[in-house]
Amino acid sequence: MQEVRAGKREQILDVAGVNVIEKGFAATSIEEIIVEVGITKSGFFYHFSDKNELAKALLQRYIDMEEDIFRDIETRAYELNDDPLHGFLISLKLLAELAEDLPNGHPGCLIASYCYQSQLFSADIRDLNAQALMAWRMRFQRQLEKIAKTYPPRMEVDLADVADMLSAVADGGIILSRVMHDKSILPRQVMLYREFIKALFITH
């Protein structure tokens, strides 16, 4: 078997993942993927019936990875401080540090990337994308509502919007970092969002 290391399917996803984030899905040719992996075109189509299947697998893997990251951060944060507000503030600090430690900055958000190429993909991929953002909203909103029980919000805001704002600031921060070639922007934006959370829940 040619499966020298870790299976070609995973290697295809690795290579495709990097290239899609770099130049977009349409501009990532199957040709360049198979060359980089060291595989034939037949090999590629053995694993994925068409390019759309690759896109779906890529997105699913990305969503699962992000889910893992958020779950880990949340777990660690509430281990350090089980108060809902301070746990959340620690989560945000950990998130900012994670972004800061990436050597070349955040590589990019696949959901944002797909968003601007959505017409290329089938409806189920667009649904997957929407579900992922909805899951993030739920995750953050749940924590915010827990906070609000002990710390009544000092402004009249919809906590779903506040939850969405973290996704927005993160996706926007990634774009700013990439375009302006300044990887510090993303972690700074996360920390600024953290200031907003403090202003929203803490009385001074």
Partner DNA sequence: TGTTTTACTGTACCCTCGGTACAGTTGACT
Partner DNA sequence: AGTCAACTGTACCGAGGGTACAGTAAAACA
Residue 123 binds: one of a second copy, DNA, none (C-beta under 5 to 8 A by kind): none
Site string for a second copy, 26-45 (x = CB under 8 A): xx------------------
* 41-80 binders of DNA (CB under 7 A): 41-43, 45-47, 49-52
- Smallest distance from the beta carbon of 75 to a second copy, in angstroms? 25
Whole-number Å distance between alpha carbons of 7 and 133: 30
Stretch that binds DNA, among 32-40, 58-66, 106-114, 150-158 (CB under 7 A): 32-40
Q: Tally DSSP H helices, then E strands, for the chain.
A: 9, 0
Which long-range contacts does 191-195 make (Cβ < 8 Å, 24+ apart)? 191/92, 191/93, 191/96, 193/92, 193/165, 193/166, 193/169, 194/89, 194/92, 194/93, 194/96
Closer Cβ to DNA, 28 or 189, answer by number: 28
Stretch that binds DNA, among 33-41, 84-92, 106-114, 128-136 (CB under 7 A): 33-41
**Does 47 sit near a second copy (CB under 8 A)?**
no
C-alpha R_g of the chain: 19
Backbone angles phi, psi at 26, to 5 degrees: -60, -35
**Does 189 sit near DNA (CB under 7 A)?**
no
- Smallest distance from the beta carbon of 22 to DNA, in angstroms? 14
* 168-197 binders of a second copy (CB under 8 A): 168-173, 175-176, 178-181, 185, 188-189, 192-193, 195-196
Site string for a second copy, 59-98 (x = CB under 8 A): ----------------------------------------
Helix axes 84-101, 123-150, angle to 10 degrees: 130
Q: Which of 5, 134, 145, 150 binds a second copy (CB under 8 A)?
A: 134
The residue among 197, 26, 58, 49 whose CA lies nearest residue 132 is 58
The sign one gets for the Cα dihedral 29, 68, 88, 93 is negative
Tokens of 114: 């797909």
Binding site residues, DNA, CB under 7 A:
1-3, 7-9, 28-32, 38-43, 45-47, 49-52
